[in-house]
A and B are shown apart, each in its own frame.
Chain A
């Protein structure tokens, strides 16, 4: 059954429309704007829910000549992701008004949050490569605004810039990958499928085959992996995610748990049917398991509850990537099911962390403990979700982790991957041990002794508890009855990402198997190591302190710091405030680029131009021009120089007349006159003579020679490229000027009728030049009396 275009469009557009209306809403509702967000997110959620069970493409034309469309493709996978974003979004909006009470810039906050949600829904449903890229980068932009919400705070700005730098940069790799993909798809499936992801998903083998034939399979796979990996915080570019905890907690919950960071995982799942293969297994299973382990270890080293959760998110993203990396059906099951499970438990945990920070006033793990007496309901919620994160049976995280173990073991059976065959399961277990450790540590905030210095903790308001409560109930339902979640949504998501159809069954294991043994080892090791948590925590931190290059943050700071410093130094040299320097660099840069372009293209001027026969009149005019040019250089005063320069200009105008181009001649004459007058107007202010050093004379001579030579070569080369006789365009313009434009002056008809859009662009340039000169002068003369 095909989806309804209007319903899908409404679901994607609603958040954006609401985002635009936020300033008005905020004026009407004040801090309760969040509840309007609840309505919008819920509406989008219900609209999407009504499309459950449908599959197909709907779309609007966008750039028909390139076959780019605002195309949406609905299937179980996209729907699962979009509904997660809207569903969790609803709860975030419910949670925000109480949490953000009294904070500044709420209009911007809600606008960005709504647009963020909308762009994630857009990525999930878009089936056009260009649309995917646009929505993808839009999520990065919105997250930049959200992470940098506290604009006065340096760490917030640093984190926002880092997230933007990494994710937008990764997005550019993705763009290149998508363009390569579109070229191949256009060749293989047909030109109308060049940007159409839905059409590619219908012919996955043909696309993969086409990519391999052209030797583009590995480049495309690598580029898409970089894009998805930066977005989903895979090692070694995982460090932006923990830094992003500078954002307000509702944003962290939304960004880390459900949505933006999972866009990469989502995309890997989306491309899985097309690109899956040996390389795929090697790349993503290795990448995912490394990320999972490194970030789990880093989470144990964390001292801040949000930092712990952020590293844990990156670790779980690694788990999902590794899941999709394994080519067996268990791999796809891991990815899809864990995406759902992780969203349920991690969003809850972040919201709980927000409650703790809000009510206890600190996020330092060492200063917190025994909170169950003060926050009993929150404690119950935390027990469910923290055990789920740890993967303890029968909580929901256990099932999807079990699937990962199954997939890792399966890979060693079915692929000849040498040592990796036992390394994959071993690393998966090793990383999971740390997962158990930090999950228990988070849980311990609510148990044990209550530190003395922890002051009175008041009860959180009801709206703060509802959102994590709802999520915890859902997590509990999935824990008790996992097959229910499978039937409702996971199975259809699996069908879209797996290679073959497979009925998914999830239940508690009743007999021994290798994955069950691995789980038992994981939990046993985790429990055994927990008493030594302090020592492990200290050990990891000591290692990090001893060798800073281990931390990816160090690399980022080193690279970005040097770039900024180098940029500033170069800038100081080029922008030293002297107009002469600016002109020198601009002119020399232009000459260099133009000449390098000709050299790279191997352009050679033909010899025919040399034996150009000029009439005596033309020869005379050109001779006068040359003499005038010499006179300009020799002239003693400015006035004489300008007047002789005008002779040169007027000679060129006469040359145009002789070459039967009256319009051009007219323009040249008029502009020449105007320039002469402007010079005369300005010249009164210029001193009669300058004292210029010999070095500057030499520099100016070199620059002017270079500019002249470039102009000369450009004219020589470009006029040479003119085809023999009239081109088609010239003929059509000449023939159609009177019947189509109603004018006998072809130049003017071309300007206003045939190429009106170009003229419009030139008008904008003139207007912009005038505005910028106004701005320049106004800004220079202070502008503080404005």
Chain B
């Protein structure tokens, strides 16, 4: 699959997918989207990279490390990073649920504030659910990429 056409397409498409996935995640509360869909789309971008450039590309090309062929897939630095990502994501989700307990509210209570007259944007809404949704995003991206790279390496 590592043809020139594929690589060229990937170079153009991957940034677009990433930007779209982030916008899906941020806008999720008011428009179609959210942490889960954003996370899956981000994973898709990585899958395209893997497909176009091979599994070792991130480790060799981006992180600038030599790949040790005899090494177990689970020891790769990228895999460790993915694993951390979903671990932290789960922690963020749980912690965001625990915060309301400090205010005497039930676990996972969410709230939101709306700021008017913010320069450039004007009307900005900050929902506490965004933190939880960020946790969802991290778990989905980390979990799926772990599965993808470990299974793909096989």
Contacts and interface: CB of A to CB of B under 8 A. Distances in A.
A681 B129 contact: no
Contacts of A743: 29-30, 112, 127, 129
Interface in A668-714: 670-671, 673-674, 677-678, 680-682, 684-685
Contacts of B30: 743-745
Contacts of A764: 90
Given A770-B143, A770-B146, A742 B127 contact: yes
Interface residues of B, number: 58
B84 to A, nearest CB: 12
A741 interface: yes
B34 A748 contact: yes
A678 B139 CA distance: 18
Interface stretch (A255-263, A316-324, A754-762): A754-762
Contacts of B114: 742
Contacts of A673: 44
Contact of A751 (B31, B36, B74, B144): B36
B70 to A, nearest CB: 10
Chain A CB within 10 A, most for which of B29, B132, B140: B29
Given A681-B50, A682-B151, A752-B110, A766 B73 contact: no
B143 A745 contact: no
A430 to B, nearest CB: 63
Question: By DSSP majority rule, is chain B's interface helix, strand, loop, or mixed?
Answer: helix
A779 to B, nearest CB: 10
Nearest to A667: B37
Given A743-B129, A745-B33, A760-B94, A681 B47 contact: yes
Nearest to A765: B143
B1 interface: yes
Nearest to B112: A742
Contacts of A769: 143, 147
Contact of B142 (A670, A685, A744, A770): A770
B22 interface: no
A763 B73 contact: no
A710 B9 CA distance: 41
B93 A763 contact: yes
B29 A770 contact: no
Nearest to A749: B29
Contacts of B78: none
Given A742-B127, A757-B108, A663 B37 contact: yes
Contacts of B47: 674, 677-678, 681
Nearest to A753: B110
Contacts of B51: 677, 680-681
A777 interface: yes
Contact of A756 (B29, B110, B147, B152): B110
Given A745-B29, A747-B34, A763-B90, A777 B150 contact: yes
B24 to A, nearest CB: 8
B144 A766 contact: yes
B33 A666 contact: yes
Nearest to B141: A766
Interface of A: 662-663, 666-667, 670-671, 673-674, 677-678, 680-682, 684-685, 741-745, 747-749, 751-753, 756-757, 759-760, 763-764, 766-767, 769-770, 773-774, 777-778, 781
Shortest 5 CB-CB contacts between residues of A and residues of B: A742-B112, A743-B29, A677-B47, A770-B143, A752-B129
13 contacts: A674-B40, A674-B44, A680-B1, A681-B152, A742-B114, A752-B35, A757-B108, A766-B143, A767-B139, A774-B74, A774-B146, A774-B150, A777-B72
